[in-house]
Structure 1
Amino acid sequence: MYIPITLLTKLTEMVFSSAPTTFPNHTLITLNDGGFIPSPAFGVGSALYQKNATEDVVLALKNGYRHIDNAAIYGNEESVGEALKIAKVPREELYITTKYDGGDVRTEFELSLKKLGVDYVDLYLIHFPKFADAGGGIKTVWREFERLREEGLAKSIGVSNYGVIELTELLLLAKIKPAVNQIRYHAYNAKENAPLLALAGLNDIVIEAYSSLSPITKFPGGPADPIGERIADRISTVSGGIKVTVAQTILDWLKTKNIVAVTTSGKDFRQKEQLQVFQESFPPLTEEEIKEYEEAGPGWDQQ
């Protein structure tokens, strides 16, 4: 089921606007709790899993990233905290996300704060549904999340890797709706995730996407490749001859759909290239390009 971008925008009723001076390299998306979330986020999972992330995060902050996406299970919250100390970016100019991975919610949350060296986080997510089950069940865990939100310790709360069934269950019991659902999302699984995006849109839940560059990093040679190349050529032309990469078109696809991009790179030029997409002047994809890209090869990553 393909959802036209015009319908998706109408369903979500989200404000997608250029960022204020505190987030000059990002685009902001309004959350259902009245807050906002900057895109892109610099993720310290995947390539930095269980590794020291200090050097990469310091470089990202130097290049203008202000949203850092972390999780307890990544095993590098302390090194991220060290990067924050080194970079000395004012706390109010940072957006810090981390994730709950089981155990007593309050205990685990306070441990994350200590490791990160901050007094609050901007977004706290349940990393996987199974971690809520291990923490006493979704009702128990979410009530604790709501308390953290009410106390201002977590400015926004949400989930990660929740499907339609799990998200529906949560919505039925939540006093405070999740503001975000972070999922694995790319061209080859976009079509199967359309019902999940529709449910999120109806409840003003922002989608965050990780592994979105998979068509070129993990599954090269697929049917999305030539489409991405054509889009890159088109945007390069309308941008005055600036050479646009296929990776940038993928991030632009997320931006056009009001989806927060979670991406990472330890390379200076890649970080700058990725941030360039989120400037107001970077042209969006057309509705036709979005449809063509998402219908290129559903399930190709399972070939």
Structure 2
Amino acid sequence: MTDNAPKLPDLTMTLTEGARIPLLGFGTWQIKGQDAVRATSAALESGYRHLDTATVYGNEGEVGRALADSGVPRDDVFITTKCPPDRAGRELETLRESLELLQTDHVDLWLIHWPGEATVNVDMWRAFVEARDAGLAREIGVSNFDVSLIDDVTKATGAAPAVNQIEWSPLLFDAETLAEHRARDIALEGYSALRGGTLEHPAVLEIAERTGRTAAQVIIRWHLQHEVIVIPKSVQPDRIRSNADVAGFTLTDQDMATLDALGGR
């Protein structure tokens, strides 16, 4: 590590089965081929120890190759992947394909990528519980679910998701959504935090200028202080490093309130 190395936050959350997930992860959506290898390698070099991928991203092999080549021990990295609902009935087959591509015997978190129709969610969730019990996934969760769908799968199986990954940013902040997940002891994980105009919003830019930080760093820090998992993505090594460099400052209560107030606007 050099003097210019990013200062990563040492913040984790303990999930349902005891796995500790770093609140800061590296997202790989829309990153393909050699770009995925290079970006994941840069993330690991920068100190990220949480990687997020999915079957439909088509890059699990590249993420796995980057991790294998990095020299970072597998047990030091939290790996998430996701199964789409069109694989219903073939969940375990899909997971085993993911494990082979990722070059590992288990993932740390496996998510239903988005809700299916009719009884698909409950049927898939039973397969997810089976995978967890078999040790193929340390934790299981969902993505893009609302609370009623979460309650449906929990009631049907007696097993609650550990995580719900949804689109989240200051512009989408909803205190009720956060409270509903906390009441169920379900971790909220946000994606697309740096999209949708957040980086250009005047309130974000004002805080960034005042704190001497980038707009992206402000948004990532906002997630961390809400204890919401965040997975920024980039293919640019300098931006990957910058996005990780969020341990050296704290947003004030007023800053947090200002950003929260952007929700719904």
Q: Same fold (TM over 0.5)?
A: yes
Contact 2:171 2:262 in 1 (8 A): yes
Alignment CA distance shift 1:35-1:220 (3 Å): closer
Contact 2:150 2:160 in 1 (8 A): no
Counterpart check, 1:205 vs 2:172:
no
CA deviations 1:243-300 (Å, max 9, x no partner) are 31121110010000000111111222212211111x2x431x233322322323625x
1:1-303 pair list within 5 angstroms: 26-46=10-30, 48=31, 53-101=36-84, 102-103=87-88, 104-130=90-116, 133=117, 137-191=120-174, 194-216=175-197, 221=200, 225-234=201-210, 236=211, 243-277=212-246, 279=247, 281-283=248-250, 285-296=251-262, 298-299=264-265
Sequence identity (%): 34
Contact 1:187 1:215 in 2 (8 A): no
Alignment CA distance shift 1:122-1:197 (3 Å): same
Residue segments in structure 1 that go unaligned for 5+ positions in a row:
1-23, 237-242
- RMSD (Å) for aligned C-alpha atoms: 2.2
Contact 1:97 1:122 in 2 (8 A): yes
CA deviations 1:126-170 (Å, max 9, x no partner) are 00012xx48x62222111111211222111110011112212222
How far apart, in 2, do the equivalents of 1:262 and 1:86 lie?
A: 22
CA deviations 1:178-202 (Å, max 9, x no partner) are 11000001122213xx333222110
Contact 1:56 1:266 in 2 (8 A): yes
SS of equivalent residue, structure 1 residue 98? strand
Contact 2:50 2:77 in 1 (8 A): yes
How far apart, in 2, do the equivalents of 1:81 and 1:297 lie?
A: 36
Instruction: Give the TM-score taking structure 1 as reference length.
Output: 0.78
How far apart, in 1, do the equivalents of 2:221 and 2:127 lie?
A: 36
Alignment CA distance shift 1:175-1:227 (3 Å): same
Contact 1:127 1:161 in 2 (8 A): yes
Shift, 1:39, TM fit: 2.2
How far apart, in 2, do the equivalents of 1:209 and 1:247 lie?
A: 14
How far apart, in 1, do the equivalents of 2:16 and 2:107 lie?
A: 17
For these two proteins, the number of residue pairs brought into alignment is 256
How far apart, in 2, do the equivalents of 1:110 and 1:175 lie?
A: 25
Contact 2:172 2:262 in 1 (8 A): no
How far apart, in 2, do the equivalents of 1:72 and 1:158 lie?
A: 15
How far apart, in 1, do the equivalents of 2:156 and 2:176 lie?
A: 20
Contact 2:114 2:144 in 1 (8 A): yes
SS of equivalent residue, structure 2 residue 189? strand
Give the counterpart letter for 1:168 in structure 2: D
Give the counterpart letter for 2:264 in structure 1: P
How far apart, in 1, do the equivalents of 2:9 and 2:256 lie?
A: 24
Shift, 1:175, TM fit: 2.2
How far apart, in 2, do the equivalents of 1:231 and 1:291 lie?
A: 12
Match of 2:4 in 1: none
How far apart, in 2, do the equivalents of 1:268 and 1:138 lie?
A: 38
